[in-house]
Structure 1
Amino acid sequence: MDKPIIIFGAKGIAQPALEIFNSNEAVVYGFLEEDEKLHGSEINTVPVLGHPEDDGFLKLIGKKTEAFVAVDDAKYRKFIVELLNERRKVQPVNAIHSTAFISSDAAIGHGNFINARVTLGTGTEIGQHCILHTGAIIDHHVKVADYVQIGAGSIINSEVTIEEGAFIGSGATIVSGVTIGKNARIGAGSVVISSVGANETVFGNPAAKIK
Structure 2
Amino acid sequence: MENPVIIFGASELGRAAVEIFESNDIIVYGFLDDKEELHGQTIGELAILGHTEDDGFLKLIGKKCEAFIAVDDRPLRKGLVELIKTRRKMMPVNAIHSNTEIAPSAHVGHGEFINSGVVIGANARIGDHCIIHTNATIDYSAKLGDLVQVGAGSVIGSEAEIGENVFIGSGATIVPGIKIGKNARIGAGSVVVANVEEGLTVFGNPAKAV
What range describes the TM-score normalised by the shorter chain of this pair?
Answer: over 0.9
- By how many angstroms is 1:42 displaced? 1.1
In the TM superposition, 1:56-135 aligns within 5 A as 56-135=56-135
CA deviation string 1:86-145 (max 9, x = no partner)? 110010000000001110110011000000000000000001000000000110000000
CA deviation string 1:161-203 (max 9, x = no partner)? 0000000000000000001110000000000000100000000
- By how many angstroms is 1:43 displaced? 1.1
Write the distance in 2 (CA, Å) between the matches of 1:87 and 1:12.
26
CA deviation string 1:43-82 (max 9, x = no partner)? 1211110000000110000010000000010100110100
Write the distance in 2 (CA, Å) between the matches of 1:142 and 1:42.
39
Write the distance in 1 (CA, Å) between the matches of 2:156 and 2:106.
15
Q: Secondary structure at the match of 1:30?
A: strand
Q: Which runs of 5+ in 2 are unaligned?
A: none
- Match for 1:66: what amino acid? E
- By how many angstroms is 1:12 displaced? 3.4
Residue 47 in 1 paired to residue 47 in 2?
yes
Q: Secondary structure at the match of 1:56?
A: helix
For 1:146, the equivalent position in structure 2 comes to: 146
For 1:184, the equivalent position in structure 2 comes to: 184
For 1:10, the equivalent position in structure 2 comes to: 10
TM-score (structure 2 length as normaliser): 0.99
Q: Secondary structure at the match of 2:12?
A: coil
Write the distance in 2 (CA, Å) between the matches of 1:135 and 1:95.
15
State whether residues 137 and 153 of structure 1, in contact with CA within 8 Å, keep that contact through their aligned partners in structure 2. yes
- Match for 2:63: what amino acid? K
State whether residues 9 and 71 of structure 1, in contact with CA within 8 Å, keep that contact through their aligned partners in structure 2. yes
Residue identity (%): 59
Write the distance in 2 (CA, Å) between the matches of 1:37 and 1:124.
42
For 1:36, the equivalent position in structure 2 comes to: 36
For 1:171, the equivalent position in structure 2 comes to: 171
Residue 196 in 1 paired to residue 196 in 2?
yes
Aligned length: 210
Write the distance in 2 (CA, Å) between the matches of 1:61 and 1:121.
32
Residue 162 in 1 paired to residue 162 in 2?
yes
Q: Secondary structure at the match of 1:13?
A: helix
State whether residues 12 and 72 of structure 1, in contact with CA within 8 Å, keep that contact through their aligned partners in structure 2. no
**TM superposition outliers: structure 1 runs of 4+ over 6 Å:** none
Which has the larger displacement, 106-115 or 34-43?
Answer: 34-43
- Match for 1:199: what amino acid? G
State whether residues 12 and 71 of structure 1, in contact with CA within 8 Å, keep that contact through their aligned partners in structure 2. no
Q: Which runs of 5+ in 1 are unaligned?
A: none
Q: Secondary structure at the match of 1:16?
A: helix
Write the distance in 2 (CA, Å) between the matches of 1:109 and 1:138.
14
